[in-house]
């Protein structure tokens, strides 16, 4: 064998592959830092599918490391390609005991308006993506599954940790005058009872199914097309500040769009808790209240369950001027903290 061919064969034979769920490494690569485009030289794909898995690369000595954007899945066979060299590996399945559950579905109320806009699904741990629309079911009181009640967005609306999923009822079936509303009808019918059912088979981020299925039962009340107003909110001061609201509000927005400023105009730090089916906002300050005049600040994009915003209904036929910057308009409710309202 010519010396050049023998050297090349020896170099290729010295290369070894190491597989983990969070990385694939090639050891013994001669001078990897000289490779200009690692992505074209080092590709990882599902076996039989010539589509490179997205990820990041780095080099350490004679080791080239690929970190997939998402962990490699149990039970799948993958191929790693380094130039003309291919290495195949199956990620072993790990038998895991289910530990993730549905913690809560918001709204927590047992009655929802016919034009309910959102649901929030909270899980006890991070969940897998791409499963939602075959794992969430709306069942009517005749035991029939409602067809396509939700807006099935391909890029599911998870929070950063994939523990809270926002589910939108199809607005086209809510808003009057639109084709889906007129031809298909609303997903929720006033006076009827429904169940939201979450499949136990929905896998969490480790690929393990939930500990149990979850069901939320509710009755549908008339559509709510009246925007909320701050004039009927009631504030009580004490160790904690309590705000009672006449109707349930959007739980996620309720925790984000209300805050307190002190007599100096500075934001007060503290903990927020919701109660009474999201009709009560409770704030406990981090430090003792100082007596004086305060302001409860409310972002006007705060919504009730039907998507009606402060002083503005959801089902409105108008267009607003598009702003170049996202801004949050606010309203305020003044209140006074007497000297006796001091947390222990």
Give residue-wise pLDDT tens across range 102-159. 999 999 999 999 999 999 999 999 999 999 999 999 999 999 999 999 999 989 999 9
343 falls within a domain: no
CATH of the domain at 57: 2.60.40.1220
Q: How far is CA 2 from the centre of its chain?
A: 60
Alpha-carbon dihedral of residues 18, 19, 23, 27, nearest 10 degrees? 10
Burial tier of 318 (Cβ tally within 10 Å: 0-12, 13-18, 19+): exposed
308 falls within a domain: yes
Does residue 319 have a pLDDT over 60? no
95 falls within a domain: no
Q: Number of folded domains in the chain?
A: 3
Contact predicate 241/108, CB 8 Å: no
Question: Which pLDDT does position 175 carry in this prediction?
Answer: 65
Query: Per the structure block, which two tokens stand in for 146?
Result: 């409602």
Contact predicate 25/9, CB 8 Å: no
- Domain closes at, from 176, 199, 221: 221
Q: Which domain holds residue 188?
A: 102-221
Give residue-wise pLDDT tens across range 10-61. 344 579 999 999 999 999 999 888 888 998 899 999 998 888 999 999 999 9
Is residue 297 located within the same domain as residue 196? no
* CA-based nearest residue to 245, from 255, 253, 234: 234
Is residue 116 located within the same domain as residue 81? no
Is residue 84 located within the same domain as residue 189? no
Give residue-wise pLDDT tens across range 70-84. 899 888 999 999 988
Is residue 74 located within the same domain as residue 118? no
């Amino acid at each position: 064998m010519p010396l050049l061919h023998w050297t090349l064969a020896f170099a290729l034979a010295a290369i070894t592959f190491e597989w983990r769920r969070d990385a694939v490494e090639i050891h013994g690569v001669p001078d990897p830092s000289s490779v200009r485009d690692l992505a074209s030289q080092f590709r990882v794909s599902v076996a039989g599918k010539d589509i490179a898995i997205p990820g990041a690369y780095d080099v350490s000595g004679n080791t080239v490391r690929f970190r997939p954007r998402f962990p490699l899945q149990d039970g799948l066979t993958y191929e790693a390609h380094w130039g003309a060299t291919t290495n195949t590996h199956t990620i072993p399945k790990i038998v895991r005991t289910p530990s993730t559950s549905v913690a809560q579905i918001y709204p927590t109320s047992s009655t929802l308006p016919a034009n309910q806009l959102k649901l929030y699904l909270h899980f006890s741990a991070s969940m897998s993506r791409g499963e939602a629309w075959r794992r969430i079911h709306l069942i009517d009181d005749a035991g029939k599954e409602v067809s396509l009640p939700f807006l099935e967005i391909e890029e599911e609306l998870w929070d950063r940790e994939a523990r809270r999923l926002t589910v939108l009822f199809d607005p086209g079936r809510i808003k009057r005058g639109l084709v889906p509303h007129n031809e298909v009808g609303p997903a929720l019918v006033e006076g009827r009872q429904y169940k939201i059912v979450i499949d136990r088979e929905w896998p969490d981020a480790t690929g393990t199914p939930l500990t149990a299925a979850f069901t939320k039962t509710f009755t549908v009340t008339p559509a709510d097309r009246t925007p909320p107003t701050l004039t009927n909110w009631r504030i009580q001061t004490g160790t904690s500040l309590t705000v009672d609201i006449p109707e349930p509000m959007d739980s996620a927005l309720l925790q984000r769009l209300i805050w307190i400023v002190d007599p100096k105009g500075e934001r007060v730090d503290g903990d927020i808790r919701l109660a009474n089916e999201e009709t009560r906002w409770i704030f406990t300050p981090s430090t003792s209240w100082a007596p004086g005049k305060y302001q409860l600040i409310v972002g006007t994009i705060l919504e009730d369950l039907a998507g009606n915003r402060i002083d503005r209904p959801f089902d409105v036929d108008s267009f607003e001027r598009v702003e170049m910057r996202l801004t949050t308009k606010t309203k305020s409710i003044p209140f006074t903290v007497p000297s006796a309202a001091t947390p222990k």
